Structure 1
Amino acid sequence: MREPNVVGDWQEYDEHAGLRVRVHGVEKAEPPRGRDEAADDLTYFRFRVTVENRTTERFGIHLEDGQIDVRVGTDGESAFLDWRNSRFIEGFDVYPLRRATAVLFAACPDSALHRVDVQVALKVDDEWAERYLWAGGVTGDEIIEGEPRPESARDSLACQVSNFLRREAES
């Protein structure tokens, strides 16, 4: 199993060289207007999905509700994705050296915000691109780097290097 991307990291598509995507800007947010009462037991958060074209050709991209899955907490339960108030990318041409960003709102119990996983399946020129996963979390306004799920290989070299760098940065 491959390690997930950390929130904020760019991931380049193999089948579309020069096209890359990232999930970033995970933070607590106020419920959009009209959702105040529905969100009594839930905490709203927002995140961004940015697609960047670093090639010399144009790509038509599509990113909407069914192409994004948000899981929260240690058990990976589904978060409520507020598709009505989110701003997706629907049939947009990303020209060379340009970006397009979707802003998405989701909600979950406050106790699950420490771990947020976002999976993105982008559609490029009417073809499905590979799905990628970003792991992170929200506490206040800080982003916490994601830890591998308990069933993943904790002894992998990438995990060991990541843990070493994290410990070095703290000291």
Structure 2
Amino acid sequence: MREPNVIGDWQECADVHAGLRVRVHGLEKAEPPRGRDEAAEGLAYFRFRVTVENRMREPVGILLEDGQLDIRTGPDGESAFLDWRNSQFIEGFDLYPLRRATAVLFAAAPEHFLNLVDIQVQLKADEEWADRYLWSGDLTVPDGLPGTGARPDVGSESLACQISTFLREEAERGQG
């Protein structure tokens, strides 16, 4: 895990898990699920999705539970509250070739920390651990036009802008 992915990017797994792709996407503010109002007092709820795609030739058993996710927010990387009761994990699912499985997860953190959200995922496939991958995003910047994956003009100081610029520069260096 040398550099973070931007929320919404696919990450190709390596080595034994070559052919699996993981994506953290759909990061958005959300209302606390019913019955969690008291637990969320003073915190801003948000949700995101983790999708796993199988591009291998054989089915693979996927496991993604709360212990395989780490969510950090703010400049000091404070741990966010992962609402495991209301999240929908992937538990022992046989993922066939050319199919996807998605987990919908709820978390909460102080509102003023939502400008930096880091989500680390370590998938388990066929009882073997895949590498850990990190996605970074910003809940305070509105998304771009639907379907474009682009954000409107934002200041060069935003995390998403810095990551996008870094990845673009690295891609250009790799081609040159």
Q: TM-score range by the shorter chain?
A: 0.7 to 0.9
What SS does the corresponding residue of 1:66 show, helix, strand or coil?
helix
Partner in structure 1 of residue 50 of structure 2: 49
What SS does the corresponding residue of 2:67 show, helix, strand or coil?
helix
Structure 2 unaligned regions, length at least 5:
144-150, 152-158
Partner in structure 1 of residue 112 of structure 2: 111
Which structure 1 residue ranges, 4+ long, deviate > 2 Å from structure 2?
A: 140-144, 157-160
The TM-score, its normalising length taken from structure 1, stands at 0.84
Deviation at residue 57 of structure 1 after TM alignment: 1.0
Please, which of 148, 169, 172 is the counterpart of residue 161 of structure 1? 169
Deviation at residue 55 of structure 1 after TM alignment: 2.1
CA contact (8 A) 1:25 1:47 kept: yes
CA deviations 1:52-77 (Å, max 9, x no partner) are 01122111010001000000011100
Cα distance in 1 for partners of 2:101, 2:168 equals 34
Cα distance in 1 for partners of 2:36, 2:162 equals 31
Partner in structure 2 of residue 71 of structure 1: 72
Would the alpha carbon gap of residues 146 and 50 (structure 1) be closer, same or farther in structure 2, given more than 3 Å must change?
farther
Partner in structure 2 of residue 7 of structure 1: 7
CA deviations 1:123-164 (Å, max 9, x no partner) are 01001110000011102653772746xxxxxxxx945727x9
CA contact (8 A) 1:94 1:100 kept: yes
| One-letter amino acid matched to 1:83 | W
Q: Do residues 83 (structure 1) and 84 (structure 2) align?
A: yes
Structure 1 unaligned regions, length at least 5:
149-156, 165-171
